[in-house]
A and B are shown apart, each in its own frame.
Chain A
Amino acid sequence: MRRRFDLRSVLIALAAPVLAILFSVVVISVVLLAVGDNPFDVFSKMIEYGTQPRTEVLILNSATIYYFSAVAVAIGFKMNLFNIGVDGQYRLAAFAAAVVGGSINLPAPLHVLVILVTAVLVGAMWAGIAAVLRAYRGVSEVISTIMLNFIATGVIAYLLQPGRLAVEVQGSNNIGTEPIPPSGQVPGMAIIPGTESKVYGLAILAVLVGFGYWFLLNRTRFGFDLRATGMSESAAVSSGVDIKRMIVAAMLLSGAVAGLVGMPQLLGSSYSYSLDFPAGLGFTGIAIALLGRNNAVGIAFGALLWGFLDNSAQILDLEGVPKEIVTIMQGTIVLSVVIAYELVRRYRLREQQRLTGQATAEPTGIGPGADEREGAPA
């Protein structure tokens, strides 16, 4: 009986995102019709372009980056901590890692390791500031991480100047950190047939982080404490969880993963932190964590979907359709997913209560009046 129950709940769990995506397709179709485009054409163009091998590589690469970002956000979400600061954490971490990576020379695996560890530590440290403020001074992490994003921007802008930590990028008027030598680079993987383009080597790290995230949350005492705190702080306290320590630990972990967001780009393609290093990935992570319901596998699908939309939209400009249409689509997907999940959550609760009601149907017969009502239809 349990198996059937489980199959049912899997179907229900899948229903929410599928319905949400369908709903946003409808919304976007209406928008497209309103601006005079044929939605069917637009979608088929996106799918056609998005399934080309070269684009598939781009999608995987985007998804790798998004995945780190979304897991970082999800760790906070699991404890009701809103780490808006993933953005500042990964930029500062990537910058510091680029500086360290460009200034040392070590054998290949060690060089990469030092860069990654630097990124993780800097990301954790930057999140740690917000964690300590929240745990010991009661400062909302929402406010402090937003502030820290701005401070990170300022710090990087100050240090990334010629004469400080920046050098001119050859053949352009861009400036960036000293390039990381080949020993500190992570080679790509040519795993998609039909194209020369390579998938980031750190995509493997993303898979490992995803597994680690799932394992930590669902299989360890620490993860149980973390989830318990997220579900009910007062119950967690009575169960013996030290809330302050949990806040600090969760934020540090979130920041550590955030530190990895910039790594695929840094170690896989740009090899230096320059003025045009991608920004704003932390906010994308928030949307994808919501989409994936903080679930390791769900986030992977969310990241792939996001990567698909971002990259396949590039064709639209050529077709005369504004590619910003995809931003609307992403927005409606997130909104409708959040609503769909809430509806499903309520439905599930009612369903469970109904089942429990059946299981407890007899005991309501206990007590006065039971005798004379015996045999009455239930």
Chain B
Amino acid sequence: MTTTTPSVELSGITKRFPGVVANRDVNIKAQAGHVHAIVGENGAGKSTLMNILYGLLRPDEGTIHVDGREVSFASPSDAIAAGIGMVHQHFKLADNFTVLENVVLGAEPTRGGRLDFEAARQRITEISQRYGLEVETDALVEELGVGDRQRVEILKVLYRGARILILDEPTAVLVPQEVDELFDALRELKGEGLTVIFISHKLDEVLSVADEITVIRRGTTVTTVEDPRSVTARQLAELMVGSELPVPELRESTVQDRVMLTADGLTLTLPDGRTVLSDVTFSIRSGEILGIAGVEGNGQAELVEAVMGVRRPTSGTVHLGGEDVSHWSTRQRREAGLAYIPEDRTRSALLLEAPLWENRMLGHQTMAPNARGPLLNRGGARADTERIVREYDVRTPSIDVAASALSGGNQQKLIVGREMTGEPQVLVAAHPTRGVDVGAQAAIWEHIRNARAAGLAVLLISADLDELIGMSDRLTVIFRGQLVADFDPRQVTPQQLGSAMTGAGEAA
């Protein structure tokens, strides 16, 4: 049924960033009156692509056609003029303005130099009735719920005359009922002949709302599914991740008797009275990986900080290799063999402006080969940085470039290499493969496996359930600051973990 001119056609789009090709030869055709879904993993290049379509970025190669006409956008205003509107994942609304004011903001109707709110109100009411987007025009945005705010964002775009709507992960912030409402609205929109481009990685939702699905993997379009009924969520997932995806898995158990890290009754109450960690107790043996699963914000970050000594728990103790380190500083703990891969590498693990060899010293600036007494050993640090770059395959022209010049995966390989050096006893790894490419991910897993075989104890925190299940010797779930359930990773399914992570199935 698609013989007509597509309302949006992207052909051969390529966009390079320093060190990465974010999009390569992307081809997408979206029809008017359709919901066209674009799916792909985090970092697959969806956002780059949409920013190109919305005029925020310019492609290095390729063309964009809107309604059969070739266009070139220098800025979002060009895209808006061509009838393209974008609803961002994070709302861009002024809280202390009313819905009406937010919608007209930047496109205010005037009459004789004065704002003409009446005309605007009429148009908004007309649009909202036509597409079933009911909102109270005079309500303050700060009083609205998330679903309503999203409708305001969509209204804003429609008010500017958009015929092509880009929705970037629109359901990420919605509860299921609101998702249904959104999908009803999307059906109205396409019924009126608008084009909806729907970006998501939630496959079930995509299958229920999309008319066509384009899969993006590692920056390029893998395939377009013309009939969503012909595929299952599993098939889509395989297309998204590709078949050569490395599988995290451990071989035989290497667990030894010696307990390396023990947390006993860790409790952390914030000054505002919230308890973010509550009686967290665990121990990890030499050669063992303990995985902690949990929805983000359930105390993982605080637990890591308490173990590292960055944050003092209200009560509870931490033992490292049998010694009570509860009152030790972060530096003392690191010197005692506690290695640390922080959750946010650009904030907590790197000095972005500093060269790689100085970054190699970070966290180990008091230890060999980086220091000799109170002095730095620059030669030693440089030589060891060369070794890390070689052994961990950090792709860089030199160890003198700033860390910010490296891609995320290469930054992470440098961090992993650094933390694995110096025979650590315990590794605290928070999201060690987050945002890195598939190759780097496999390499990082392999390094962790090798260190485990050599007797390293690992506390692994991750949002990637496959990684947790595949890489852990034991699994535990953190929920609202408590360890609520233990699982054997050889038997647990992601579904079981998922329900424990949301607190379901817990009597307490």
Contacts and interface: CB of A to CB of B under 8 A. Distances in A.
A355 B398 CA distance: 9
Contacts of A231: 351-354
A368 B374 contact: no
Interface in B374-413: 374-376, 378, 395-398, 400-402, 404-407, 410
A353 B405 contact: yes
Contacts of A163: none
B365 A224 contact: yes
A228 interface: yes
A231 B242 CA distance: 39
A1 B354 CA distance: 20
B439 A238 contact: no
Interface string A223-252: 111011001101101111110000000000
A193 interface: no
Interface in A1-47: 1-2, 5
Interface string B167-180: 00000000000000
Contacts of A223: 376
B330 A220 contact: no
| Residue in A1, A231, A238 whose Cβ sees the most chain B Cβ within 10 Å | A238
A225 B351 CA distance: 11
Contact of A219 (B242, B329, B334, B376): B376
A138 interface: no
Interface string B4-32: 00000000000011111100110000000
B340 interface: yes
A352 interface: yes
Interface in A290-320: none
Contacts of B439: 363, 366-367
A240 B401 contact: no
Contacts of B401: 352, 355-356
A235 B242 contact: no
Query: Number of contact residues on A: which range applies?
Result: 35 or more
Interface stretch (B259-267, B355-363, B469-477, B483-491): B355-363
B217 interface: yes
B495 interface: no
A358 interface: yes
A221 B374 contact: yes
Contacts of A241: 331
B218 A367 contact: yes
Contact of A235 (B351, B395, B400): B351
B222 interface: yes
B85 interface: no
A369 interface: yes
Nearest to A233: B347
A235 B350 contact: yes
Interface string A336-373: 00000000000001101111111110011011110001
A222 interface: yes
B349 A369 contact: no
A235 B396 contact: no
Contact of B395 (A1, A228, A359): A359
Nearest to B362: A239
B350 A232 contact: yes
Interface in B434-452: 437-439
A357 B365 contact: no
Nearest to B348: A238
| Residue in B24, B331, B365, B437 whose Cβ sees the most chain A Cβ within 10 Å | B365
Top 5 closest A-B pairs, CB basis? A240-B331, A353-B18, A239-B363, A352-B405, A360-B395
Given A235-B347, A238-B348, A360-B19, 20 more contacts: A2-B400, A220-B376, A231-B353, A235-B348, A238-B363, A239-B330, A239-B334, A240-B366, A242-B331, A350-B18, A352-B402, A352-B404, A352-B405, A356-B396, A356-B397, A357-B16, A360-B410, A364-B24, A368-B217, A369-B222
